[in-house]
Amino acid sequence: MSVESVKKKHVLIATHNGTFHCDDALAVFLIKLLPENKYAKVVRTRDKQLLDQCDFVLDVGAVYDHETRRYDHHQPSFNHTMNSIIVAKPFCIKLSSAGLVYTHYGHRIISTLSGLDENSPEVDAVFDKVYEKFVQEIDAIDNGIAMCSETPVYEIHTNISTRVKHFLPSWREESNDQILFERFEKAMQMVGNEFVDRVSFYINDWLPAKKVVEKAIMSRFEVDESGTIIDLTSAGGGVPWKEHLFCIEKEVGIENAIKFVIFEDKDWRVMSVPISSYSFQLRNALHEEWRGLRDEELSNKSGIDGCVFVHINGFIGGNRTRSGALQMAKSSLKSV
Over residues 237-268, the pLDDT tens digits come to 688 999 999 999 999 999 999 999 999 988 99
* CA atoms of 124 and 131, how far apart (whole Å): 11
- Asked if pLDDT for residue 6 goes beyond 60, the answer is no
What integer pLDDT is reported at residue 152 of this predicted model? 87
The 10s digit of each residue's pLDDT in 118-143 is: 999 999 999 999 999 999 999 999 99
The 10s digit of each residue's pLDDT in 85-109 is: 999 999 999 999 999 999 999 999 9
pLDDT band at 111 (very low <50, low <70, confident <90, very high): very high
Q: Which residues neighbour 197 within 8 Å (Cβ) at sequence distance 6 or greater?
A: none
- Asked if pLDDT for residue 4 goes beyond 70, the answer is no
Around Cβ 94, how many Cβ atoms within 10 Å?
18
Q: Do 145 and 93 meet the contact criterion of CB atoms below 8 Å apart?
A: yes
pLDDT, mean over the chain: 95
What integer pLDDT is reported at residue 278 of this predicted model? 84
Alpha helices in the chain (DSSP H): 3-7, 22-33, 48-52, 82-85, 97-114, 121-130, 136-142, 160-165, 177-201, 207-218, 220-223, 242-252, 295-302, 322-333
Q: What is the largest CA-CA distance in the chain?
A: 80
The 10s digit of each residue's pLDDT in 15-74 is: 999 999 999 999 999 999 999 999 999 999 999 999 999 999 999 999 999 999 999 999
The 10s digit of each residue's pLDDT in 175-208 is: 999 999 999 999 999 999 999 999 999 999 999 9
The 10s digit of each residue's pLDDT in 311-333 is: 999 999 999 999 999 999 999 99
The 10s digit of each residue's pLDDT in 11-23 is: 999 999 999 999 9
Enumerate the domain spans of the chain.
Answer: 3-146+153-206, 219-333
Percent of the chain with pLDDT strictly greater than 90 = 90
- Asked if pLDDT for residue 287 goes beyond 70, the answer is yes
Identity of residue 313 = N
What integer pLDDT is reported at residue 336 of this predicted model? 45
